[in-house]
Structure 1
Amino acid sequence: MTRIDAWTWSVRLFKTRSAAASACRGGHVKINGSAAKPAQHVVPGDEVRIRAGGFEKIVEVTQLVNKRVGAPAAVTCYIDRSPPPPPRELFAAVPVRDRGAGRPTKRDRREIDRLRSAPPSD
């Protein structure tokens, strides 16, 4: 048996083990639909959901590893069932000010705020 924080770090889903443990404590890691504590054990066949960076990664455990492995070996330890990321066109482009234009005026700031709070167009 392997701890969930150690397994997610070992298969390179998190950069550090402490980051994996923090994500577990924060409720961002779920095993079979229930929130996982860092010391919870994972077994082959479990579904692990990780919410990080505004996206959700869904993986199925196929192999247990205790030590960090290389990227080619890591992808053999799980099956990625994550939905494809949304197309880049759906994200609004951040308005760019010309270099040296100075601080935005009150009018510029209101236009920027209006663009940021506008609902996404279909």
Structure 2
Amino acid sequence: MNKPFEPLSEVRVDVWLWSARFFKTRSLAKHAIEGGKIDLNDDGCKPAKALRVGDMLKISRGEEKLEVEVLALADRRGPANVAQTLYRETETSRATREAAREQRRLIGMNGPLKRPDKHARRDLRRMKDAS
């Protein structure tokens, strides 16, 4: 680990993704990188690849796709407001993400799917028996 006043020139991609709070653990960040969910400068990468200020990352988490520019480096996980200063999301990425969120809201896929309750199960049985 680095001393608090020593500036970093590069840091591992998996460590940075964890410290910037894109993933809850470094292990999850590593698995996402190995699974091809992270692109560094429009190219694939490995967990130990060196990340520098100014690099561009494309991050896929489920249906969410982000494109961010690295503004600062950190190898320690800190508060969320500090983590947000490590990167800047591009305007196109933000607009695309907002459009996808609105589309999901309109379709009605906002919340988790629920199991049918007593009345819905009764209606399903009636429909199945009628056919």
User: Aligned to 2:83, what secondary structure does the other structure show?
Assistant: helix
Query: What is residue 58 of structure 1 aligned with on the other side?
Result: 67
Deviations 1:43-76 (CA, angstroms, capped at 9, x unpaired): 0111111101211011100101011111111111
- The Cα shift of 1:24 comes to 0.3
- Residue 18 (str. 1) matches residue 35 (str. 2): no
Query: What is residue 69 of structure 1 aligned with on the other side?
Result: 78
Task: Please identify, of 68-77 and 21-30, the stretch whose mean Cα deviation from structure 2 is larger.
Answer: 68-77
Structure 1 residues 89 and 74: alpha-carbon distance in aligned structure 2, compared to 1, 3 A threshold: same
What TM-score, normalized to structure 1?
0.76
Deviations 1:24-43 (CA, angstroms, capped at 9, x unpaired): 00000000111111011110
Q: After TM superposition, where is structure 1 displaced by more than 4 Å over at least 4 residues in a row?
A: 91-96, 105-108
- The Cα shift of 1:106 comes to 9.3
User: Aligned to 1:102, what secondary structure does the other structure show?
Assistant: helix
Structure 1 residues 76 and 101: alpha-carbon distance in aligned structure 2, compared to 1, 3 A threshold: closer
User: Aligned to 2:121, what secondary structure does the other structure show?
Assistant: coil
**Counterpart among 89, 102, 107 of residue 121 in structure 2:** 102
- The Cα shift of 1:97 comes to 3.5
Return the letter of the residue paired with 1:23: A
What RMSD, in angstroms, separates the aligned Cα atoms of the two structures?
A: 2.4
Instruction: Please identify which structure carries the higher helix content.
Output: 2
What TM-score, normalized to structure 2?
0.72
Query: What is residue 27 of structure 1 aligned with on the other side?
Result: 36
Q: What residue ranges of structure 2 are gaps of 5+ in the alignment?
A: 1-9
- Provide the rounded CA distance (Å) in 1 between the counterparts of 2:46 and 2:126: 47
- The Cα shift of 1:80 comes to 1.4
Query: What is residue 49 of structure 2 aligned with on the other side?
Result: 40
**Counterpart among 96, 102, 106 of residue 89 in structure 1:** 106
Number of aligned residues: 108
- The Cα shift of 1:100 comes to 5.0
